[in-house]
Amino acid sequence: MPSALLRAIPKVDLLLGRAEAEPDLAAAPRVHLLSAVRRALDDLRRDILAGRLEAVPGPEDMLAAVRVRLAAETAPSLRPVVNATGVVLHTNLGRSVLGQAVAARVAEIAASYSNLEYDPRAGERGSRQAHVESLLTRLTGGAAALAVNNNAAALLLIMAAVCGGREVIISRGELVEIGDSFRLPEILAQGGAAPREVGTTNRTTLDDYAGAIVPGRSGGLLKVHPSNFRLIGYTGQPTVAELASLAAARGLPLICDVGSGALGLKMPGEPDLAEVIGAGADLVCFSGDKLLGGPQAGLVVGRADLVARLKAHPLARALRIDKLCLAALEATLRLHLDPDQARQDIPTLAMLKAEAEDLRARAEDLKTALAAAAPSLGLAVVEVEGQAGGGAAPEYPLRSWAVALTHPRHSAEGLEAALRQGETPVVGRIHRERLLLDVRTVRPGQFDLLVRAVAALEDLTGRE
């Protein structure tokens, strides 16, 4: 039976000819239409082999399948998503959201030539770092600064330019994996530095660091924020100030990778950038798209002579930040000059600092709108716990509110899958057999999108 059905599948040229006779399909670029035809036939072939079909669909059904495939073929792959998970810095969903003013600045630079590496006053070549360096130094207290494309790149560059060919001394408990299988020892090795582990997993003393220093062989001390990893109980680590004093006495740089990069945002367990610099760290690196609330970037602040070595290293060009990220970073840093404005106009900070009662009111408003759009769904406003995300303060949940969805005939998993597969994907989370839509991370302008997505879900469940 499958063999007969497979022989009955129309040829590519035949189905393509039929598609080209349809005005709506013929308007598409031929390369996309041909791909859609082939994919529709591949789908048909798989369904036959899996025993899901007893007959080959007719011409109209095949053209409908081509239309579905063509829509997928021509739609942008990267598209907006409604984040209803309650995780503010959701790595899979792009981490920080840029505010309207910052996004407008990026669009302005993207649509025009710019003075990226040109000094109009002097009439000569300039440095792209000049657009953000003074802002970074003013905000953190560092003497000089550099921006590259992400924090792993920043650490790689530091290792290559400052510690390359020598050992970098690090506590055994800080040799972490920082996500997506990127392990710290491997990054250090790629930078040409050999990790010299000291102490134990849970306790490392200043004497452990001091005892590992060998003149000519040691290239620096490295302290790394553990991101999502935490040790509790019988633990101990020297402070930044203690390590800085030891490093200075032995003529070595103290390098601190603080990860998320909190700037005036007091979050438990997250070191403040200015405080780390003030404690004596020689180089501090951090991410731009986490607690800073900007674009993806790796930022380094610290001693002018060391930053100069980073800028002069060949890897600096390979890892440099691009003009669009640079525009977003500059605009974000300018907002940080006024802390009150930053908390209002940087979405990441606004979401992290949102008051629970305000979130409850938003959840009630969302429930009312959803009830009108999807009367068959069970809806309840519930108190939930969200997360900062991005490795920031993982042991400190954020008190929040959500709308919980249930359906008498469909599981929470089914509702979740239908919402994330819609025209505008809505990503929630499942807890105790209910689909939760946490309003903390739903942007104000996305409420209508969310309601329309749930209305489409109502149509789907109603047909079934």
In sequence order, what are the beta bridge partners of 148? 298, 320
Determine the distance from the C-alpha atom of residue 177 to the mean position of all C-alpha atoms in its chain, rounded to a whole number: 17
pLDDT confidence bin for 120, thresholds 50/70/90 = very high
Asked whether the beta carbons of 336 and 136 are under 8 A apart, the reply is no
Q: Determine the Cα–Cα distance for residues 323 and 329; give it in Å rounded to an integer.
A: 10
Instruction: Please provide the DSSP assignment of 347-375 as one string.
Output: HHHHHHT--HHHHHHHHHHHHHHHHHH-T
What is the rounded (10 degree) CA torsion for 69, 71, 73, 76?
-150
Please tell me the distance from the alpha carbon of residue 90 to that of residue 262, in angstroms, as a whole number. Answer: 17
pLDDT category at 179 given cuts 50, 70, 90 is low
- C-alpha span between 26 and 32 (Å, rounded): 10
Between 48 and 229, whose confidence is greater?
48
What confidence tens digit (pLDDT) does each residue in 280-329 have? 999 999 999 999 999 999 999 999 999 999 999 999 999 999 999 999 99
Q: Is 346 helix (H, G, I), strand (E, B) or coil?
A: coil
State yes or no: pLDDT of 18 exceeds 90: yes
Ranges of each domain in the chain: 2-74, 82-90+351-463, 100-345
Taking a C-beta distance cutoff of 8 angstroms, is the pair 94, 100 a contact? no
- Using alpha carbons only, what angle is made at residue 202 by residues 201 and 206, rounded to the nearest 5 degrees? 95
Rounded Cα distance between 174 and 257, Å, is 10
Gyration radius (Cα) of the chain, Å: 27
Determine the Cα–Cα distance for residues 5 and 10; give it in Å rounded to an integer.
Answer: 10
pLDDT digits 0-9 by tens, 207-257 = 999 999 999 999 999 999 887 777 778 888 999 999 999 999 999 999 999
Model pLDDT for residues 371-389, shown as the tens digit of each residue: 999 898 999 999 999 998 8
At 99, the amino acid letter reads G
Q: SS3 of 115, please?
A: coil
Q: Is 280 left (phi over 0), alpha (psi -120 to 50) or beta?
A: left
Cα pseudo-dihedral 283, 287, 290, 293, rounded to 10: 90
Task: Yes or no: say if 228 and 199 are a contact pair by the CB < 8 Å rule.
Answer: no
63-119: pLDDT as tens digits? 999 999 999 888 888 999 999 999 999 999 999 999 999 999 999 999 999 999 999
**Dihedrals phi, psi of 436, to nearest 5 degrees:** -100, 135
Crossing angle of helices 30-49 and 12-20, in 10° steps, is 130
φ and ψ of 30, to 5 deg = -60, -35
pTM, two decimal places: 0.90
Percent of the chain with pLDDT over 90: 77
Pairing label, strands 398-406, 167-171: unpaired
| Chain position carrying tokens 């030539």 | 113
Longest dimension (CA), the chain: 83
Strands (E), 111-217: 118-119, 124-125, 144-148, 167-171, 194-198
Nearest to 391 by CA among 272, 266, 260: 260
| pLDDT, averaged across the chain | 92
Q: Each residue of 148-158: pLDDT tens digit?
A: 999 999 999 99
Q: Which fold has domain 82-90+351-463?
A: Aspartate Aminotransferase, domain 1 (3.90.1150)
Q: Exposure string (b/e) for 89-127, b if CB count within 10 Å is 16 or more?
A: bbeebbbbbbbeebeebbeebeeeeeeeeeeeeeeeeee
Model confidence at 189, pLDDT cuts 50, 70, 90, reads very high
Judge whether 259 and 290 are in contact, CB under 8 Å: yes
Looking at residue 464, its pLDDT comes to: 47
- Please name the residue that has the structure tokens 């004093």: 245
Residue 173 has pLDDT above 80, yes or no: yes
Q: How many C-beta atoms lie closer than 10 Å to residue 78's C-beta? A: 6
State residue 443 phi and psi, 5-degree precision: -65, 145
Instruction: Reply yes or no on whether the pLDDT at 52 is more than 90.
Output: no
CATH of 100-345 among 3.30.930.10, 3.40.47.10, 3.40.50.1700, 3.40.640.10: 3.40.640.10
H helices within 299-346, ranges in order? 304-312, 314-318, 323-336, 339-345
Q: Which are the contacts of 409, defined by CB distance < 8 A and separation ≥ 6?
A: 461, 464
User: How many Cα neighbours within 13 Å face the side chain of 103?
Assistant: 8
